[in-house]
């Protein structure tokens, strides 16, 4: 290829980037901070960056014209460098189908939100429960930082460097700890200490302490097993959401009816298959109980009878 042509292309591309992203040379990931959501990734101008839950396996699912208009990919040229507080090991790039290079963090492609106008704007945060700010430790920020302010959980944001799948549990744990705190004040059942950075398994006990009724352990165990094989491929091992929506901290799980009918009949319009034919009442009750009482959720158990009623 003649050299001159390459140069021209680069110039055009640079101009394009200038117009779109204001980020031509030496892209730098920085850290912004929001009183509600805590620390999040931003570009060198301080403009907030988001990740998209649909970007399974690091592939951008935001390829339609409309999506790229609403969520301009953070396209870059050259290596991505990082400011203090950002983990350089997480910074990377992804080649979009159109050949442009999009910055990634912990494997997740990064986007702007079209509606953000200046540094500190986070108008895209949690939209649709699929676009989220990215924390410097590599997690999508799905829970408000205020949920971590429980005295029981002083070090909620200390983890980092794990795979994305494993990390959403942090926020969920923090949430569980908060609820557990309430439980201790109220019911005082002493459902167990929530250690800093503890296991997500503890959350189920937090749920019981939260006053939602006893959650039978055998149901939880059975549910976890079904979840791992049947649900985790789409919803993530930690319920953090992959191609399917996040279940950790998903308030719709509070609605027993909705949970059961969704599992039974699926969401054909959103790609979730129906499991009514494949799982029996007991199995659905188990998995419903598990997702409603894990990762900080504490919405109480679901019984096989409740499932049977809705078949």
Partner 1 sequence: MRATRTITALTAAACLAVGGMALANDELLQLQEDPGQWVMPNGSYAALNYSELDQINTENVDQLQVAWTFQTGVLDSHEGAPLVVGDTMYLVTPKPSVLYAIDLNEPGVVKWALAVDMPELEQALAVACCGGQTRGVSYADGMLYFNSLDGQLFGVDAETGEIVWQKQIADLSIGETTTLAPLIVHDHLITGIAGGEYSVRGWVAAYDLKTGDEVWKMYNTGPNEEMGITDSFAPFYEDDKVEEPGVSTWWRDSWEIGGGSVWGWFSYDPELDWFYYSTGNCSPGNPDYRRDPATAPGYFEYPNKYCASLLARDATTGELMWAYTLTPQDPWDLDEPGPNILVDLEIDGETVPALIKAARNGFFYVFDRQTGELLEEPWMHSPVTWATGFDMETGRPIMDPEREVYTDVITEGLCPLIAATNWENQAYNPDTGLVYFSERNRCGDWRAFAGEYVPGESYRLRETVESYLGPDGNGDWGNRLVGIDPVTGEQAWGIEAMGSDNKPVFTTAGNLVFQGGQLGEFRAIDATTGEVLWQFMAGADFSNSPMTYLGPDGKQYVAVISSSGPGRLGVEVDAEPDEEDRYRRAGSTLYVFTLPDDVAGVTPDQTATPAGAEGAEDDGGAGGEAEDGGGAAGGAAGGEAGDDAGAAGDDAGGAGDDAGGGAAGDDGGSDGY
Of residues 10, 11, 45, 123, which one binds partner 1 by CB under 8 A?
A: 123
Contacts with partner 1: how many residues (CB under 8 A)?
32
Which residue is it, tokens 């055998």?
Answer: 218
- Does residue number 311 form part of the binding site for partner 1 (CB under 8 A)? no
Is 86 or 172 the residue whose CB approaches partner 1 more closely?
Answer: 172
Helix H or strand E encompassing 264: helix 256-265
Of residues 126, 196, 232, 274, which one binds partner 1 by CB under 8 A?
A: 126
Is 130 or 219 the residue whose CB approaches partner 1 more closely?
Answer: 130
Q: How far apart are CA 188 and CA 58, in angstroms?
A: 44
| Burial degree of 308 (CB within 10 A; 0-12, 13-18, 19+) | middle
Q: How far apart are CA 55 and CA 52, in angstroms?
A: 6
Is 79 or 115 the residue whose CB approaches partner 1 more closely?
Answer: 115
Give the range of 73-81, 91-99, 122-130, 225-233 binding partner 1 by CB under 8 A: 122-130
Q: How far apart are CA 110 and CA 221, in angstroms?
A: 36
Shortest spacing between CB 138 and partner 1, in angstroms: 22
Strands (E), 47-182: 50-52, 81-82, 91-95, 101-105, 108-109, 131-133
Give the range of 190-198, 208-216, 264-272, 273-281 binding partner 1 by CB under 8 A: 264-272
- Does residue number 300 form part of the binding site for partner 1 (CB under 8 A)? no
Is the CB of residue 192 less than 8 Å from the CB of residue 202? yes
- Closest to 194 (Cα-Cα) out of 207, 186, 183, 203: 203
| Burial degree of 289 (CB within 10 A; 0-12, 13-18, 19+) | buried
| Cβ contacts of 12 within 8 Å, gap of 6 or more | none
Of residues 128, 154, 161, 190, which one binds partner 1 by CB under 8 A?
A: 128
- Does residue number 245 form part of the binding site for partner 1 (CB under 8 A)? yes
Give the range of 119-127, 167-175, 186-194, 221-229 binding partner 1 by CB under 8 A: 119-127
Of residues 262, 283, 294, 298, which one binds partner 1 by CB under 8 A?
A: 262
Of residues 129, 162, 182, 280, which one binds partner 1 by CB under 8 A?
A: 129
Answer left, alpha or beta for residue 84, where phi above 0 means left and psi between -120 and 50 means alpha. Answer: beta
Site track for partner 1 across 41-60, x = CB under 8 A? -----------x-x------
| Cβ contacts of 167 within 8 Å, gap of 6 or more | 137, 138, 139, 159, 160, 238, 240
Of residues 40, 71, 105, 108, which one binds partner 1 by CB under 8 A?
A: 71
Residues 99-118 that bind partner 1 (CB under 8 A): 115
The contact set with partner 1 (CB under 8 A) reads: 52, 54, 61-62, 64, 66-67, 70-71, 115, 121, 123-131, 245, 251-252, 255, 258, 261-262, 265, 267-270
């Amino acid at each position: 290829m003649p050299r001159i042509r390459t140069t021209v292309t680069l110039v055009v591309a640079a101009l394009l980037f200038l117009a779109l992203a204001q980020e031509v040379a030496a892209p730098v990931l920085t850290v912004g901070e929001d009183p509600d959501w805590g620390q999040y990734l931003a570009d060198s101008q301080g403009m907030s960056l988001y990740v998209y839950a649909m970007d399974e396996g690091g592939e951008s699912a935001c390829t339609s014209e409309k999506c790229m208009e609403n969520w301009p990919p953070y396209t870059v040229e050259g290596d991505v460098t990082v400011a203090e507080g950002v983990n350089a090991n997480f910074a990377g790039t992804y080649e979009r189908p159109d050949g442009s290079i999009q910055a990634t963090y912990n494997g997740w492609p990064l986007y702007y939100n079209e509606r953000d106008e200046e540094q500190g704007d986070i108008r895209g945060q949690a939209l649709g429960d699929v676009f989220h700010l990215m924390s410097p430790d590599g997690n999508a920020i799905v829970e408000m930082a205020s949920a971590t302010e429980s005295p029981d959980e002083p070090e909620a944001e200390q983890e980092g460097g794990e795979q994305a799948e494993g990390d959403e549990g942090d926020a969920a744990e923090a949430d569980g700890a908060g609820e557990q705190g309430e439980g201790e004040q109220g019911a005082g059942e002493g459902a167990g200490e929530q250690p800093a950075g503890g296991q997500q398994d503890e959350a189920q006990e937090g749920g019981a302490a939260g006053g939602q009724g006893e959650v039978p352990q055998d149901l939880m165990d059975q549910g976890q097993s079904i979840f791992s094989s049947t649900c985790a491929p789409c919803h993530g091992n930690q319920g953090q959401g992959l191609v399917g929506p996040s279940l950790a901290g998903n308030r719709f799980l509070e609605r027993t009816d909705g949970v059961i009918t969704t599992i039974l009949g699926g969401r054909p319009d959103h790609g979730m298959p129906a499991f009514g034919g494949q799982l029996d009442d007991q199995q659905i009750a188990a998995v419903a109980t598990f997702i409603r009482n894990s990762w900080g959720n504490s919405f109480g158990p679901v019984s096989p009878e409740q499932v049977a009623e809705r078949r």
